[in-house]
Amino acid sequence: MKRVNWQIILGISLAILSVILYSIHYLIFRDPHHVFIYMVGDIAFIPIEVLVVTLIIHRLLADREKKAMLKKLNMVIGAFFSEVGLKLVPSFAKFDHKSDKIKEDLSRMKNWTDADFKKATDLIDNFEFHIDSNLGDLKSLRDFLSGKRNFLLRLLENPNLLEHETFTELLWAVFHLTEELEYRSNLDKLPHSDLEHISGDIKRVYVLLLNRWVDYVMHLRHNYPYLYSLAVRTNPLDEEASPIVRS
């Protein structure tokens, strides 16, 4: 409210100042003809000024600011995958009956084009994941996620995440899975219905994680070739992956 009042006062003050300056012009030159010529000319230029300043310059500045923000955001996403995401992918794959199929399709990314990344995204969206929480180690998964809680909380404190809804959705899904596992003191004696519930939570995180990982690797391919090279050599779905550069 104070900000609006300040703007109103400023607008009225500028209008009064304009009247005073035009009055001084008339008192000096005694020529209302030229006063109105300049006044009408200035008013006629206002729409063009609004077009240039608001629609063009403002748009250019907004786009530049958005690019800078997205660059910072991708740094945050990179930190997430380095610290958490790349370790979760192979862990979740152990819970999937059809992990061999998804590994085969996503393990060779070295020479991918944009079309290949698009196909990978479509594959993930349409793939029939069969997650069974009995197949993997729920205790190890719980301990890992609990140990990363503070790191994930710091990520959520980043205001830039508001501009990336899909990554924020991934973080919330990870937090939900973490809480589900932490609330269960004994993961060895869970009824079938509860295991199915946890399987659904794991599937949600797994699908979101794979999608964001593919998007992130494609971003590296376009902007940071050296990071892209490392991402390909450490592909979490490639069982033969190695950070060692070989000929």
Asked whether the predicted pLDDT for residue 105 surpasses 60, the reply is yes
- In the block, residue with structure tokens 């950070």: 243
Residue 68's pLDDT band, with cuts at 50, 70 and 90, is low
pLDDT single digits (tens) 176-210: 999 999 999 888 888 999 999 999 999 999 999 99
Tell me, what's the pLDDT at 15? 80
pLDDT single digits (tens) 129-185: 889 998 888 999 999 999 999 998 888 887 777 667 888 899 999 999 999 999 998
- Which residue blocks in the chain are alpha helix, DSSP H? 2-29, 32-50, 58-80, 86-93, 99-106, 114-126, 138-147, 149-156, 165-182, 192-223, 225-233
